[in-house]
Amino acid sequence: MQSTDFGNPIHVESLVRQIHAKSTRPLTLMEVCGGQTHAILRYGIDQLLPPHLRIVHGPGCPVCVTPAETIDRAIEIASVPGVIFCTFGDMLRVPGSQSHSNANDLMHAKSQGADVRVIQSPLEALRIARAESQNAAPGSMKRQVVLFAIGFETTAPATAMAIRQAKELQLDSFSALVCHVLVPPALDAIFADVDHGIDGLLAAGHVCTIAGDHPYHRLADQFNLPIAITGFEPVDLLRGILNLVEQLEAKPTSHRVDNLYEHIASAEGNLQAQRTVETVFAICDQHWRGMGSIPQSGLKLQPQFASFDASSRFPQGKLPGEQPSCCRAADVLRGKIRPIECPAFGTLCNPNHPLGAPMVSAEGACAAYFLYQALAPLNISERTPSKRTPSELTQSESLNPKDDLAP
């Protein structure tokens, strides 16, 4: 299939008809990618599906699962005089602990004088550190450049490259506050709950492009769960949904891993990127916002790169714990509810006053529902989906949610 075909209304209509014809019973499918969440809502794909076919959204947004205490630590480090704190724009307004005394997010810290800079790549932070080092007057104190390193398997290689280059350059003015997380262990935690209620999984194609598909074969076998690896365009997503419906409607039901992103992702993934990550990082237990501590789900620096750990380089004060809230972001991240089922959605919680990270992040599920669906927090059964035809899905719409949700 040519790249221009992935938004073709004819293909979309054909796939929708097949899904309706083959889906005979209630099913709940989960996706775990913020880009897929926004594509599904932006193009109204969920409204084209049979009413008994439900899509829920898992922990597919790395910004959303960054724990409040890590945000608090980022604010603390960014507020140190002489620090240049480099972060992706999504992180600026992610709330830390509600009781934080000075600033509750990096935007507030910036407004209070912290030098917080938005970057597009970890290597940009490295370039800033090199420039600061070269421009420092002899005998003067070099400014410290700290990279806020967050993300899934897709962004870890670039962070690893930046840290490896900093070591090669002996750039002691550069460090990273690391909060990289891995998708499969989080899925383990979700599916280990006997009441998870998920029938099939749409796996993110870009994650598999880096990491390969082998972790998903184990998940499929262990939890008897069909998995379709897919992309972000309407045809991509509908192919994945159709694949899961076909596996679940088969007699007996199937639980294969099918790669429908084969034009980009391979079974083994990007081996060079994997080697780069393994050189710089080791796997560790990691705390996830809304999900608690998940074994072997994070990355930490290898001992030979420990000197670039910002958390060790900067003294840590006493940080407040996360405060109770009516926000049900944790249930959204686990696929227990959809955002519109949260009592705070669209009222107490909105993009201008987010209670949880999924409302502020450009990839968050709550932000997607707020942007693309009705704002009133109605019960799902009370909603009347707008009737969008497949030909209306692709009328010059961009798939990049950051165009609409730039901080």
Task: Assign 299 a pLDDT band (cuts: 50, 70, 90).
Answer: very high
The predicted pLDDT at position 361 comes to 80
The predicted pLDDT at position 1 comes to 52
57 closest CA partner among 41, 78, 80, 73: 41
240 closest CA partner among 257, 253, 220: 257
- What's at 138, amino acid-wise? P
The predicted pLDDT at position 396 comes to 36
Q: Which residues contact 120 (CB under 8 A, 6 or more apart)?
A: 88
Q: Has residue 394 got a pLDDT over 80? A: no
Q: Has residue 11 got a pLDDT over 50? A: yes
Residue 195: HSE in the Cβ half-sphere, 13 Å Cα cutoff: 3
The predicted pLDDT at position 170 comes to 95
- Average of per-residue pLDDT across 209-226: 96
* Whole-number Cα distances in Å, 253 to 219, 224, 248, 258, 260: 16, 9, 5, 14, 19
Find out whether 233 and 205 touch, Cβ atoms under 8 Å: no
Task: Assign 8 a pLDDT band (cuts: 50, 70, 90).
Answer: confident
- Structure tokens given for 4: 């221009």
As a whole number, the mean pLDDT across the chain is 87
Q: Has residue 270 got a pLDDT over 70? A: yes
Q: Has residue 317 got a pLDDT over 90? A: no
**Angle formed at CA 367 by CA 156 and CA 211, multiple of 5 degrees:** 25
361 closest CA partner among 194, 215, 150, 187: 150
- What's at 280, amino acid-wise? V
The predicted pLDDT at position 189 comes to 95
Q: Tell me what percent of the residues of the chain surpass a pLDDT of 90.
A: 71
154 closest CA partner among 47, 32, 238: 32
The predicted pLDDT at position 404 comes to 36
| pTM for the predicted model, two decimal places | 0.85
The predicted pLDDT at position 303 comes to 97
Give the integer Cα–Cα distance in Å for 345 and 366. 8
The predicted pLDDT at position 104 comes to 85
Task: Assign 371 a pLDDT band (cuts: 50, 70, 90).
Answer: confident
Which DSSP state fits 348?
T
Q: Has residue 383 got a pLDDT over 70? A: no
227 closest CA partner among 195, 255, 248, 198: 255
The 10s digit of each residue's pLDDT in 51-108 is: 999 999 999 898 899 999 999 999 999 999 999 999 999 999 888 885 545 678 999 9
Domains of the chain: 3-62+191-259 (3.40.50.11750)
Task: Assign 402 a pLDDT band (cuts: 50, 70, 90).
Answer: very low
- Average of per-residue pLDDT across 197-225: 96
Task: Assign 365 a pLDDT band (cuts: 50, 70, 90).
Answer: very high
**Mapping DSSP to helix (H, G, I), strand (E, B) and coil, where does residue 14 land?**
helix
| Total residues belonging to the chain | 407
Other C-beta atoms closer than 10 Å to the C-beta of 326 total 11
Task: Assign 300 a pLDDT band (cuts: 50, 70, 90).
Answer: very high
Q: Has residue 122 got a pLDDT over 80? A: yes
Find out whether 53 and 245 touch, Cβ atoms under 8 Å: yes
- Average of per-residue pLDDT across 154-177: 97
* Whole-number Cα distances in Å, 134 to 116, 138, 140, 313: 20, 10, 12, 21
Task: Assign 18 a pLDDT band (cuts: 50, 70, 90).
Answer: very high
Beta strands 115-118 and 83-87 are parallel
Cis peptide before 252 (omega within 30 of 0): yes
Largest CA distance in the chain: 75
What are the two backbone dihedrals, phi and then psi, of residue 120, each rounded to the nearest 5 degrees? Answer: -105, -15
The predicted pLDDT at position 319 comes to 56
- Average of per-residue pLDDT across 161-190: 97
Give the integer Cα–Cα distance in Å for 369 and 27. 21
Q: Tell me what percent of the residues of the chain surpass a pLDDT of 70.
A: 87
Is the alpha carbon torsion for 102, 105, 108, 112 positive or negative?
Answer: positive
Residue 17: HSE in the Cβ half-sphere, 13 Å Cα cutoff: 7
Q: Has residue 375 got a pLDDT over 50? A: no
Q: Has residue 114 got a pLDDT over 80? A: yes
Beta bridge partners of 55: 29
Q: What is the CA radius of gyration of the chain?
A: 22
126 closest CA partner among 114, 117, 115: 117
Find the range with the poorest average confidence among 4-18, 124-138, 331-345, 392-406: 392-406
